[in-house]
Structure 1
């Protein structure tokens, strides 16, 4: 799962938890606000009745105070206006058959769900009764009792939640959206870092990264750049070392070829001459077909086979003809040699594109070795009926030589790439030493081996 999605998912979980906590707090606050409304209603009604009590006492001074209770005409519209919705007020001592005076409870809101009412009732409990004396100076003036209607209190809490949940939900969605955009913007440089790593995996080690403001991502980007520089330096050092090893190997092959030619060649030629002389002498002195003549003839035949094998060995040890004849002529000679070996060989097509006249030296030798090895593998290890050898010189900006060998003999490119023998490994090292690349891919009906060799090498 992408890091941005993980962070956004965690953010949504946090927002949901905060929204749930805000809902619980709003429920508790709304439920407790009923207690505050109850206390405020009792206070307002007691103050109003206190004024009514003292007025009646002054107007009716000839009556006993206990005859003023309950206070006359206290159940008025003005008194009801002092009572909050869902609150009921009762005067003590109350008159016969007197019911509490309740505030307007209709229109408080829709009836809450049963689970909400049961949960609030169980968790938060009932509301306490609030008692306020009519007058602090006259203890016999009576008392005002205020109670909250449980159903009205729960309905008020539910209405309060419904009124605030929309705002809280919109705020939560806005916070989640803005935070998600901020997270995505902050982690955007990670894509460039991943792209740089992918380019490094493809061989482009020195990759420039854009400026990153985040300190942590900037440190990662710097580490990736340093790693790319080290890999590029190691690749360059490896290429230099490979070129040096190839030079040393070429020198050793030339020295070995000289030794074989000078020592073995001369000795084998002398042996052949001696055997020929012995055969001729034995034929003159004795009858033809004697044992000495036959032995000398066998020595001559074995010597000729050894000389032929030595010539083939010297041909492989010496420089490829591309360094002497040029790339184009050597490739034509290579294809003609394969064509002339047998009539059952698959058809080999040579496709030369671009000016190859000035392609010489190490580049030409490497291209010749690639073509030679790929043709050998295609002829020996596949049932191809047609092989195409294409040499293309690409100009700027690539300025490289492309060597491609395709066949129609089937085969699995992945298996061939994993189980490449010493021939392909050596060719790949040669190409890499010149800063090029070699790839094995699936062709339309077989395999395709392509090597790109920079001409600047």
Structure 2
């Protein structure tokens, strides 16, 4: 899962938890606000009744205090205005058949769901009554008792939750959206870093990275740049070492060719001369010796043919002596025999000025691929195509295709000396090698930059 999606998912979880916590807090606060409204209503009504009590006491000073209780005319519209919605006030001592005076509870909003009312009442409990003395100077003035209507209290809490939760949810969505955009924008340079790493894996070891504002991303970019520089240096050193090893190997092959030519060639020639002498000088009675001499002649002739083939492979390639075009033509002619598959040579572009490591590498690649196709496949036709591509990034493309089947995975993982040598040569000149399926066989393509 992408890092941006992971961070957004975690952010969404945090937002959901925060919204849930806000809803719980709003629920508790709304439910407890009814208790505060109950106390405030009791206090306001008690103050109003205290003023009414002392006024009646001063106007009717001749009356006993008992005659003032209950306080006359307290159930008025003015008193109703002092009572919060959903709160009921009772005067003590109360008159006979007197009902509590309750605040307006209509229009508080829609009724809450049953599960909400049951859950809140179970978790938060019932509201407690509040008693407030009318006057602190005398205990005979009476007491105001206030209590919340349970249904109205639940309705008020539900209404506050709806109002607050809508705002909280809108803010949470806005914060989540803006934070997601900020996260996506902050992690956008990561795609650039990944692209640079992919380009490094493809061979471009010094990709250009922009300057990052974030310190962490800047450190990662610097590390990627340093890694690319080290890879480039290691690749250059490896190419130089490979080129040196190839030169040493070519020198050893030429030295071995000289030794084989001087020693084995002369000795085989001498053996062939001795066998011919024995064959010509034996008498008819010595037929057995004559046959042995002929067998020795045939064996030596076969060894000399093998030696010539070995010398042709060990000596300097024809592409280095005669040029790439003449070398490839001679190579295909040497590989073409009556019993062998048909070899088609296709040369495209001007190859006259191609020489040096590029020509030698192209010749060796074609030689090794043709040898493998002739030795390890049952192909009836082999195509050798050499194309020179012009332009600022000019390159030489060698493509060998056969119709003898084969397994691309097995060939790609092969650790044989031939294919390993091809890879080393191509790597030494900064080229690339690809192995893929053809229509009826395998296709091996090598790209060698002309700048090599």
TM-score range, shorter chain: over 0.9
Match of 1:427 among 417, 422, 425: 422
Residue 217 (structure 1) shift: 2.2
Q: Residue 390 of structure 1 aligns to a residue in which SS?
A: strand
Map 1:353-368 → 2, pairs under 5 A: 353-368=348-363
Residue 38 (structure 1) shift: 0.7
Residue 336 (structure 1) shift: 2.7
Match of 2:338 among 311, 324, 342: 342
Whole-Å Cα distance in 1 between the matches of residues 374 and 289 of structure 2? Answer: 44
Identify the residue that residue 150 of structure 1 maps to in structure 2.
150
Q: Quick check: 212-221 or 103-112, which moved more? A: 212-221
Identify the residue that residue 408 of structure 2 maps to in structure 1.
413
Pair 1:352 & 2:347 matched: yes
Residue 150 (structure 1) shift: 1.1
* TM-score normalised per structure 1: 0.94
Pair 1:45 & 2:40 matched: no
Whole-Å Cα distance in 1 between the matches of residues 126 and 428 of structure 2? Answer: 88
Map 1:20-99 → 2, pairs under 5 A: 20-99=20-99
Identify the residue that residue 133 of structure 1 maps to in structure 2.
133
Map 1:280-429 → 2, pairs under 5 A: 280=280, 282-283=281-282, 286-287=283-284, 290-339=287-336, 341-343=337-339, 345-419=340-414, 421-429=416-424
Change (3 A) 1:384 1:262: closer
Residue 140 (structure 1) shift: 0.7
Whole-Å Cα distance in 1 between the matches of residues 84 and 78 of structure 2? Answer: 12
Match of 2:431 among 428, 436, 439: 436
Change (3 A) 1:413 1:309: closer
Whole-Å Cα distance in 1 between the matches of residues 370 and 444 of structure 2? Answer: 10
Map 1:223-242 → 2, pairs under 5 A: 223-242=223-242
Q: Quick check: 21-30 or 130-139, which moved more? A: 130-139
Residue 289 (structure 1) shift: 5.1
Identify the residue that residue 183 of structure 1 maps to in structure 2.
183
Whole-Å Cα distance in 2 between the matches of residues 134 and 304 of structure 1? Answer: 139
Residue 35 (structure 1) shift: 1.0
Pair 1:254 & 2:249 matched: no
Residue 420 (structure 1) shift: 5.0
CA RMSD of aligned residues (A): 1.7
Whole-Å Cα distance in 1 between the matches of residues 11 and 270 of structure 2? Answer: 92
1:245-288 Cα shifts (integer Å, max 9, x gaps): 111111111111111212222232233233333433x24xx447
Q: Residue 187 of structure 1 aligns to a residue in which SS?
A: helix
Residue 418 (structure 1) shift: 1.6
Change (3 A) 1:279 1:386: closer
- Name structure 1 gaps, 5 residues minimum: none
Residue 362 (structure 1) shift: 2.2
Q: Residue 188 of structure 1 aligns to a residue in which SS?
A: helix
Identify the residue that residue 218 of structure 1 maps to in structure 2.
218
Q: Residue 441 of structure 1 aligns to a residue in which SS?
A: strand
Residue 372 (structure 1) shift: 1.7
Identify the residue that residue 447 of structure 1 maps to in structure 2.
442
Residue 11 (structure 1) shift: 0.7
Identify the residue that residue 112 of structure 2 maps to in structure 1.
112
Q: Residue 72 of structure 1 aligns to a residue in which SS?
A: coil
Whole-Å Cα distance in 2 between the matches of residues 297 and 449 of structure 1? Answer: 45
